[in-house]
Structure 1
Amino acid sequence: MNRIDALVIGGGPAGLAAAIEIGKSGLKVLVVDEGVRPGGQLVKQTHKFFGNKEFYASIRGFEIAENLIQELKKMDNVRIMTESTVIGIYEDGVPVLHRPRDKTILYHPRRILVATGASEKYLQFDNNDLPGVYGAGAVQTLMNQFGVLPGKNVLMIGSGNIGLIVSYQLMQAGVNVKAIVEAADRVGGYQVHADKVKRLGIPILLRHTIVKAIGEKEVQGAVVVQVDDRWKPIPGTEREFVVDTICVAVGLLPSAELIAQAGGKLQFIPELGGYVPVRDEDMRTTVQSVFVAGDAGGIEEATTAMIEGRVAGLNIVKDLKGSIDGVYLDHLKSQLEGFRSGPTSEKVRKGLRKLGIEFHPGSYEVNRNSVSKNYIGKLRPIIECFEAIPCNPCETSCPVGAITIGENINNVPVVNYDKCTGCGICATKCPGLAIFMLQEFPEKGKAIIGIPYEFLPIPEKGEMVVTLRKDGSVAGTGVVHKVIKTQNSTTVVYVEIPIEHASEVRHIHVGEKEENAFVCRCEEITVEEIEKAIEEGFTDFEELRRRLRISMGPCGGRTCRLNALMILSRKTGIPVEKFDPGTFRPPAVPTTFRAIAREREEDE
């Protein structure tokens, strides 16, 4: 009869966390998940999580999934059924379709937890059905789960955390993100995520939206336009982007259909993403035997989904066994209170209030200064985290207790530089890549900046790199002083730079190393050819141009000039900023003789 104690529908962060709590009690649990492997969105998340140590802060999403799965595999009373879908909830049982066998199995659970997550919102614009228009989740699945690039040039629609994170991951994979388009007048995601993409040179176009995908059989471009205060397009402000991929990241919709099928009441609450199940603080819906957790109950972060899953799991155990560890349940609820007490959770608090669930804003501090300038000459962290978000790995990872967040996890961190030893552990642990190491040498006019770096190739000691400012513009060049690598964490590259650049340099660009790699695609000039010419004595850019025709193709040097200068800098040991970039000759774009002929007749 397939009688089980608890059926967990959805093997994402909420479902897995709930199954662990129920499984610990010895109850018989079945987890049903549609994926090839369990983990939900976690398996495609390569970024590190915010939050605290108890709930996997500073650990990458796919690692969190593996940790949860391994914990469940140790329990003989818990079974995970993948590539399977619950097709309905009925009074006489729950049918589960196992897709590989195309077979339906009927289960009779005593309690049900719906942790089905969310689906992506779609956006209406002309030609939005063209191949090449993706949701952000699909892009993450292709890229991070199956190693397939969606395209070469991407336009991202939406600047929430998902849009910002996926833009960063696309750039990590070598895909060019042309711009991030946001209809609102401010970025929707965390400031630290926005700062990460800005220093990669990705523009964020506020008060813009997409109106058309260009192409017939596939995406070949996109038209975006400015919007007014009523979100209406402003005629005459259209811009075209040449892209082969449009990625839509404009929000999520809770997947609460199964709860409605079971007889649960739904309520439209825009702050939580749309129609959500009415439930209490124990995660019980209006159907006594059905619970909910995670995005299915309202769109929020994966950390709160895991806490909700554990709360729901404990209450299922309480129903079926009569007692639980009440202190632990209260602790979980207090964790939720802390995570939801900051300004980024204001919308969630408002939505939950409509369900009769009250969470109170906390007292947090953002105007706290770490006076770094008084410690010039000492290697120390510079923390550029100015927004109140629930996160404290910098505090918990510091071996000497030099970084303080305080009682409210939403407080901005403060550094006690008298205690700080300059170990740099905090820079490797920060999920927002917002901590930089700095040491100045005023007498030499130099400084060493430690940059959190998550790209390939990783430069080597002594290598010349291009240094980039906070806005992605080129500051100059630097020499790699040392490289600190840690497994599955963030590499920190220490670069020697002019001291006047110390407050601005926040990223680096590493040039091509492969000898056969093209530097100038227009003229098909390789790294090897440029290096050989330099060895022959052509040691400035104009000489290289005359020798090789580099930057004399249709692009006018837009893609090859800086890389050629980088190779020249590396081979000669002269900083890039010391070189003349060469003459910028007209025409700025390829132009026919016909177009510029004077006083020509129309038919000539």
Structure 2
Amino acid sequence: MVKTDFLVIGGGPAGLCAAIETSKRDVKTLIVDEGVELGGQLVKQTHKFFGHEGFYASVRGFEIAKKLISQLNENVTVKTQTTVTGIYEDIITAYDREKDLVFEIEPKYILISVGASERFIPFKNNHLPGVYGAGAVQTLMNQFKVLPGKRVLMIGSGNIGLIVSYQLLQAGAEVKAIVEIADKVGGYDVHARKVKRLGVPILLRHTIKEAIGEEKVEGAVIAQVDEKYNIIAGSEKEFAVDVICVAVGLVPSIELASMAGVQIQYIPELGGYVPYRDREMRTNVKNIFVAGDLAGIEEATTAMIEGKIAGLKVAEEITGQNLDSEIERMQEELVEFRSGPFSEKVRKGLERFFPQEMMSYSKTSQQDLGPVGKLRPVIECYENIPCNPCQTSCPAGAITVPENINSLPIVDYSKCTGCGICVMKCPGLAIFLVQENFQPDRDLVIMPYEFLPLPEKGQEVIALDREGREVARAQVVRVVKSANKTYLVHLSVPAGMGEVVRSFRLPKETESFVCRCEEITVDQVERAIEEGFTDYEELRRYLRVGMGPCGGRTCRSIVLGILARKTGKTLKEIGFGTFRPPSMPVKFESIVKGEIENEK
């Protein structure tokens, strides 16, 4: 029998924050978690958090887990790899997987913060190895350093689907597409922009129809849907992939709460079936509290705040301290976080439990992009999400997020020094520095970069626009490293491209040859066209393409195709060039011999 003042079931962000508050006030606390380490979903999250710095904005999830765990003191006992198996009228049972035994717990107060499980969808062959939930992919990839596959189709464009797609790209996988059944992206616009400028298409009004394969996933069939989400016959598309990652939402894990006699209600805006709770996170069972995704699917930041509220209330009742002012401050934090448009559904759902408050926020985006020729930030954050690190990190006070953190940021260019700190700190990677006429006929674009290998100074790269399309050749001027692993890459781009270029890719290590005789690559042909050689004969004279032993039999059609693609002209408009003798390589000796024989 283990006796404790406070039992926390689930050591994720909500559970950890609750335990921090009770342990600071000398409340004997036990955390039981079935994972191999505390932190819940935080340990597999490598992206930076939104919100404000009071709740770890611009800090990566796994680092937040370490910060929270470090705040636990000697009043906290931790049991990992342990699952609570039952909540009875007089006792709680738990199974310790390491010791292979069941033991009993007798607490005075309980917080159930077990999170949620992944929602799944039916489609043909969804049992095949290679079909994963997004959480499983994150666990394999970010926690255990195992890449589940090389070619991935992502199903779902919520924040989880967008974030995991980006992390797959960071890990070296190819994300073929993100498939979304709705008519708009479900997650934050800044997350969608991150993957789109890396060349990943987001296919709206599409769904998965079938996984292809016998023993494992070898492909996938998707199709368009109509207004009622029925598949449109004949619209099928097939992808060659070895992983289908499903990220279509979460379902609160209500099992333990229901066992404990907590009232369960169906509230779709909160994720489905959820337990009743009041403003202090207390359920209808007096000594049981809930927090985090179990209480309603939201962000980890709100889970931390809810955990703090529950922990403070438990500490108040056990110790007799008056903690009302701290509880009220945390409740005000929740109101601010939930005041934006993305929390509209949550507010509607919570209205079923208690009245909701809302703070006003600014919806006005900045139209002025600053003085031409000055190095300045361009903030491409057009959606009201709870986030303000750009404001708090600016040493010159040039960026403001008016009213509350759901407002859009505004730059005072007269104060900006172009230091680039905001670019490094932005969790959405939505800030760029731009300077026109950086050099004669060249603009400068400074962008956030989170991939390896890093480019080198002087290296030529392929510049991409907001949709991931190749738009120019660029040169790396400088690379600034950062402790938070968001590096700044300074790119010199052609004049006029400063407002177009938003990403880049390194040249492929394996060159693709157009003319094998003269060893002319696709890259060389494209570069020559960009330099102004837009005629086959010009390219032949400049590069010697088609002047090898085959006389252009292999490469002429390839070069003409590249010309058509790069110039936007048809093959008829371009023409096929001029054919000149000899039609095959002939030795001068043979020509001379022929002349001699003719003279004879």
TM-score interval, normalised by the smaller of the two chains: 0.7 to 0.9
Letter in 1 for 2:94: V
Deviation per CA, 1:143-187, whole angstroms, max 9, x where unpaired?
A: 011111111111100000000000111111110111110000000
Whole-angstrom distance in 2 between the partners of 1:104 and 1:460 = 57
Residue 500 of structure 2 corresponds to residue 504 of structure 1: yes
Whole-angstrom distance in 1 between the partners of 2:276 and 2:468 = 46
Match of 1:32 in 2: 32
Q: Work out which of the residue numbers 462, 487, 498 in structure 1 matches 2:483.
A: 487
Secondary structure class of the residue paired with 1:308: helix
Match of 2:13 in 1: 13
Whole-angstrom distance in 1 between the partners of 2:218 and 2:548 = 35
Secondary structure class of the residue paired with 2:135: helix
Tell whether the 8 Å contact from 2:515 to 2:546 is kept in structure 1 after alignment.
no
Residue 373 of structure 2 corresponds to residue 385 of structure 1: no
Whole-angstrom distance in 1 between the partners of 2:551 and 2:332 = 66
Whole-angstrom distance in 2 between the partners of 1:539 and 1:118 = 65
Whole-angstrom distance in 1 between the partners of 2:495 and 2:551 = 36
Match of 2:433 in 1: 437
Match of 1:596 in 2: none
Secondary structure class of the residue paired with 1:470: coil
Shift of 1:256: 1.4
Shift of 1:3: 0.9
Secondary structure class of the residue paired with 2:87: coil
Shift of 1:459: 0.7
Secondary structure class of the residue paired with 1:108: strand
Whole-angstrom distance in 2 between the partners of 1:230 and 1:372 = 41
Q: Work out which of the residue numbers 357, 360, 367 in structure 2 matches 1:360.
A: 357
Residue 67 of structure 2 corresponds to residue 97 of structure 1: no
Match of 1:76 in 2: 74
Q: How does 1:107-146 map to 2 (within 5 A)?
A: 107-146=105-144
Shift of 1:445: 2.0
Whole-angstrom distance in 2 between the partners of 1:38 and 1:539 = 66
Residue 456 of structure 2 corresponds to residue 446 of structure 1: no
Q: Percent identity?
A: 55
Letter in 2 for 1:475: V
Whole-angstrom distance in 1 between the partners of 2:551 and 2:33 = 57
Q: TM-score, normalised by structure 1?
A: 0.86
Tell whether the 8 Å contact from 1:457 to 1:510 is kept in structure 2 after alignment.
no
- Shift of the 186–456 alpha-carbon distance from structure 1 to 2, 3 Å rule, reads same
- Shift of the 331–548 alpha-carbon distance from structure 1 to 2, 3 Å rule, reads farther
Q: Work out which of the residue numbers 410, 414, 418 in structure 2 matches 1:422.
A: 418
Q: Work out which of the residue numbers 468, 472, 494 in structure 2 matches 1:472.
A: 468
Match of 1:58 in 2: 58
- Shift of the 459–39 alpha-carbon distance from structure 1 to 2, 3 Å rule, reads same
Residue 274 of structure 2 corresponds to residue 271 of structure 1: no
Residue 396 of structure 2 corresponds to residue 406 of structure 1: no
Deviation per CA, 1:103-141, whole angstroms, max 9, x where unpaired?
A: 112111100100000000001101110110000000000
Match of 1:568 in 2: none
Secondary structure class of the residue paired with 2:175: strand
Whole-angstrom distance in 2 between the partners of 1:86 and 1:180 = 37
Whole-angstrom distance in 1 between the partners of 2:546 and 2:399 = 50
Whole-angstrom distance in 2 between the partners of 1:205 and 1:409 = 31
Letter in 1 for 2:383: E
Whole-angstrom distance in 2 between the partners of 1:454 and 1:130 = 33
Shift of 1:96: 1.5
Please, what is the CA RMSD of the aligned residues? 3.1
Secondary structure class of the residue paired with 1:268: strand
Letter in 2 for 1:372: L
Secondary structure class of the residue paired with 2:140: helix
- Shift of the 289–546 alpha-carbon distance from structure 1 to 2, 3 Å rule, reads farther
Letter in 1 for 2:364: N
Deviation per CA, 1:535-592, whole angstroms, max 9, x where unpaired?
A: xxx9977749969999x79xx89xxx99xxxxxxxxxxxxxx99xxx99999xxxxxx
Match of 2:592 in 1: none
Whole-angstrom distance in 2 between the partners of 1:287 and 1:430 = 42
Match of 2:188 in 1: 190
Shift of 1:463: 1.1
Match of 1:461 in 2: 457
Secondary structure class of the residue paired with 2:479: strand
Whole-angstrom distance in 2 between the partners of 1:321 and 1:504 = 60
Whole-angstrom distance in 1 between the partners of 2:86 and 2:547 = 68
Match of 1:535 in 2: none
**Superposition misfits of 4+ residues, deviation over 3 angstroms:** 517-525, 538-550, 582-586
Secondary structure class of the residue paired with 2:443: strand
Whole-angstrom distance in 2 between the partners of 1:140 and 1:123 = 19
Secondary structure class of the residue paired with 1:372: coil
Tell whether the 8 Å contact from 2:362 to 2:402 is kept in structure 1 after alignment.
no
Q: Which runs of 5+ in 1 are unaligned?
A: 532-537, 563-576, 587-604
Q: How does 1:161-560 map to 2 (within 5 A)?
A: 161-355=159-353, 357-369=354-366, 371-373=368-370, 375-441=371-437, 444-512=440-508, 518-520=510-512, 543=545
Shift of 1:407: 2.4
Whole-angstrom distance in 2 between the partners of 1:385 and 1:548 = 54
Q: TM-score, normalised by structure 2?
A: 0.87
Whole-angstrom distance in 2 between the partners of 1:460 and 1:539 = 32
Letter in 2 for 1:411: S
Shift of 1:499: 2.0
Tell whether the 8 Å contact from 1:468 to 1:476 is kept in structure 2 after alignment.
yes
Tell whether the 8 Å contact from 2:313 to 2:323 is kept in structure 1 after alignment.
no
- Shift of the 544–312 alpha-carbon distance from structure 1 to 2, 3 Å rule, reads farther
Whole-angstrom distance in 2 between the partners of 1:435 and 1:414 = 12
Whole-angstrom distance in 2 between the partners of 1:520 and 1:80 = 56
Whole-angstrom distance in 1 between the partners of 2:341 and 2:550 = 57
Tell whether the 8 Å contact from 2:316 to 2:323 is kept in structure 1 after alignment.
no
Shift of 1:382: 0.5
- Shift of the 478–111 alpha-carbon distance from structure 1 to 2, 3 Å rule, reads same
- Shift of the 451–22 alpha-carbon distance from structure 1 to 2, 3 Å rule, reads same
- Shift of the 18–154 alpha-carbon distance from structure 1 to 2, 3 Å rule, reads same
Secondary structure class of the residue paired with 1:67: helix
- Shift of the 209–108 alpha-carbon distance from structure 1 to 2, 3 Å rule, reads same
Tell whether the 8 Å contact from 2:117 to 2:250 is kept in structure 1 after alignment.
yes
Letter in 1 for 2:142: N
In the alignment of these two chains, the number of paired residues is 551
Whole-angstrom distance in 1 between the partners of 2:551 and 2:151 = 27
Q: Which runs of 5+ in 2 are unaligned?
A: 524-539, 577-600
- Shift of the 287–417 alpha-carbon distance from structure 1 to 2, 3 Å rule, reads same
Shift of 1:80: 1.5
Whole-angstrom distance in 1 between the partners of 2:138 and 2:510 = 28
- Shift of the 520–546 alpha-carbon distance from structure 1 to 2, 3 Å rule, reads farther
Letter in 1 for 2:445: I
Whole-angstrom distance in 2 between the partners of 1:406 and 1:397 = 15
- Shift of the 49–547 alpha-carbon distance from structure 1 to 2, 3 Å rule, reads farther
Whole-angstrom distance in 2 between the partners of 1:56 and 1:548 = 63
Tell whether the 8 Å contact from 2:513 to 2:522 is kept in structure 1 after alignment.
no
- Shift of the 405–254 alpha-carbon distance from structure 1 to 2, 3 Å rule, reads same
